[in-house]
Copies of this chain bind each other. A is one copy, B any other.
Amino acid sequence: MTNSNSSPPRPDEFELIAELFAPLATSPRAFGLKDDAAIIPESGTADLVVTADALIEGVHFLESDPADSIAKKALRVNLSDLAAKGCKPHGYLLVLAIPSNVDMPWLTAFARGLGEDQKAFGISLLGGDTSSTPGPLTIAITAFGLIPKEAMLRRSGAKTGDLVYVSGTIGAAEGGLACLKEIATPINAPDRELLIQRYRLPEPRLSLGQALRGLATSAIDVSDGLLADLGHVADASRVRIVVDAARVPVHAALTALWGEETVVHASTAGDDYEIAFTAPASMCRQIAEAANSCGISVTEIGRVEEGAGTVFVDKSGREISVAQKGFRHF
């Protein structure tokens, strides 16, 4: 038993699963987590889409972040991948590596956060694994989504002449992280709270992603940074993507933080979890209608050309030099 001294004893692995996580296994095919596996039955009409993302303390979240919001973020970054693929979420597996200083109140709040979100998104925990670790808290989630056969949005479909769009606003999560790290934040309290909320609780754009099926030629969720992620689209589609800096929808509260550097900072910041996508210019009205039907703003920010890579340009078309286009792990 590896408990911190200040908290009540933590139940063993099997009690922990039975008490906190089995109630989240609402699908009958998860067998109440009493088996080593779950079944995903065939729908007969849909492709099953799978994706996995891990969150690690000190890398993807802060020790001071609330347990319930860490749980929600771990789930939502995976749902964001499904959103950018145009999928409806189906369920998820949870792998949890727990250090000894994590106590039952923390785990209870974590499970509560998962429960709230899986209800909100209409999905079930299907299984997973719980283990001790000598290192940081690590949460690896595998998420499953459904999409009509052959309809999955890809990174690779962008075509020369397409327009480039992004949902919502960019840079807010990085601004929230800066506020949490208390790096000089000349920013008022309500804005501060709002930015921190965007860092801790991304909104996977599921309704928008589904509305873009058949409209977008490519899509990606903005997790590493807008320019870096559009770079992945450019690579996969073998095109060049030109982004007009002045058009990037930067969160209004950020100029107090980053001044003249705001657009570059925001466009290379991680954790936005908006959807960046391309679509033929002829689809612009349908794109606007899709966005309106979801209540999510969508902004045209650039165009697809022949060539390679992403280019960030100012109003006169001059390239803006960017040192690093997004977050890199190594």
The chain B residue with its CB closest to the CB of A49 is: B37
Contact yes or no, A37 B140, CB < 8 A: no
Inter-subunit contact A56/B136 (CB<8 Å): no
Determine whether A189 belongs to the interface, using a CB cutoff of 8 Å to chain B. no
Contact: B236 with A34, CB < 8 Å?
Answer: yes
A203 interfacial contact with B, CB 8 Å:
no
Contact with B along A97-126 (1 / 0, CB 8 A): 110000000000000000000000000001
For residue A54, which residues in chain B have a CB less than 8 angstroms away from its CB? 95, 97, 129, 131, 140
Residue pair A37, B58 in contact (C-beta under 8 Å) = no
What's the number of copies of this chain in the assembled complex? 2
- Chain A contact residues: over half helix, strand or loop, or mixed? mixed
Query: Which B residues lie within 8 Å of A84 (CB)?
Result: 36
B31 x A156 contact (CB < 8 A): yes
Please, which residue of chain B has its CB at the minimum distance from the CB of A35?
Answer: B155
Q: Check A152 for interface membership: any CB of B closer than 8 A.
A: yes
A286 within 8 A of B: no
A328 close to chain B: CB less than 8 A: yes
Instruction: Give chain B residues whose Cβ lies under 8 Å from the Cβ of A135.
Output: 56, 133-136, 138
How far, in angstroms, from A52 to B236 measured CA to CA in the complex?
29
From B1, B48, B136, A40 is in contact (CB under 8 Å) with B48
Contact across chains for A138 and B133 when beta carbons are under 8 A apart = yes
**B133 touching A11, Cβ below 8 Å:** no
> With the chains together, A228 CA to B210 CA distance in Å?
45
Query: Which residues of A approach B to under 8 Å, CB–CB?
Result: 1-3, 10-14, 16, 31, 34-44, 46-54, 56, 58-60, 81-82, 84-85, 87, 93-95, 97-98, 126-136, 138, 140, 142, 144-145, 152, 154-156, 220-221, 232, 235-236, 328-330
Q: List 13 A-B contacts (CB under 8 A).
A: A3-B330, A11-B330, A34-B232, A35-B154, A36-B84, A37-B49, A37-B82, A42-B47, A50-B127, A52-B140, A53-B129, A59-B132, A98-B329
Q: A38-B51, A50-B144, A134-B136 are in contact. List 15 more A-B contacts (CB 8 A).
A: A12-B328, A35-B85, A35-B156, A36-B220, A41-B48, A42-B43, A42-B48, A52-B129, A54-B140, A59-B133, A95-B142, A133-B135, A133-B136, A134-B135, A142-B142
